[in-house]
Amino acid sequence: MQKTTTATDDGRDAALERELAGLKADFERLREEKVRAEQNLDNLKGQIAELEAKARKEYGTASLDELEQLLAGRRAENERLLAEYKQHIDEIRAGLDAVEAGE
């Protein structure tokens, strides 16, 4: 005995085809996103390699810990130099005040 196709079966088939078409579109979109993400990852890896090489050349290391220590040392040195410069300026002002007071 042969089964006949009904309107309900046709509706189910159409719904399945729409769902399949949607899934295919989602798959294609996700595939394109994956390709872009992989390209971005490759670009970022290249940038990291370039920055590490630059850090090694300029600072002798690409280690984040060592760079942070170097930065802390340079900040401390800058603070020390600033304090010395401020003291020097204050001494000049005091000397000028003394000269003006003696006039």
Higher pLDDT residue, 10 or 46? Answer: 46
* Polymer length in residues for the chain: 103
Task: Specify whether 57 is located in the same domain as 84.
Answer: no
Tens-place pLDDT, residues 42-92: 999 999 999 999 999 999 999 999 999 999 999 999 999 999 999 999 999
53 and 76 assigned to the same domain: no
Of the chain, the percentage scoring pLDDT greater than 90 comes to 83
pLDDT of residue 1: 53
pLDDT reported for residue 95: 95
Asked if the model's pLDDT at residue 103 lies above 80, the reply is no
Domain that holds residue 19: 7-61
Q: Cα–Cα distance between 38 and 29 in angstroms, integer?
A: 14
Using DSSP's 3-state secondary structure scheme, residue 50 falls into helix
Q: Write down the residue that tokens 């719904």 correspond to.
A: 15
In a shared domain, residues 48 and 68:
no
Q: What is the pLDDT of residue 9?
A: 81
Residue position matching structure tokens 């159409």: 14
Stretch 24-49: mean pLDDT: 98
- Total domains in the chain come to 2
- Evaluate if residue 7 carries a pLDDT over 90: no
Q: Residues 6 or more apart from 67 whose CB is under 8 A from it?
A: 55, 59, 61
User: What is the structure's pLDDT at 90?
Assistant: 97
